[in-house]
Amino acid sequence: MAAVRLWQLWLQGLALVWGRAGMGLAHLAATAPPPQACSEFSQRSCEECLKNVSCLWCYTNNTCVDYPVRSILPPSSLCSLSNARWGVCWSRPDEEEERLARKREERRLQSLQRKHERKMKHDEIRKKYGLLQDSDNPYSRFENE
**pTM of the shown model:** 0.43
pLDDT at 144 over 80: no
pLDDT at 120: 95
Q: How confident is the model at residue 8 (pLDDT cuts 50, 70, 90)?
A: low
pLDDT digits over 74-123, tens only? 888 888 888 888 888 877 667 788 889 999 999 999 999 999 999 999 99
> Which long-range CB contacts under 8 A does 43-50 form with residues at least 24 apart?
45/91, 46/85, 46/89, 46/91, 47/89, 47/91, 50/85, 50/86, 50/87, 50/88, 50/89
Average pLDDT over residues 39-64: 89
Q: How confident is the model at residue 138 (pLDDT cuts 50, 70, 90)?
A: low
Supply the Cα-derived Rg of the chain in whole angstroms: 36
**Backbone phi, psi, residue 42, to 5°:** -65, 150
pLDDT at 122: 94
Distance CA 29, CA 101 (A): 49
pLDDT at 109: 96
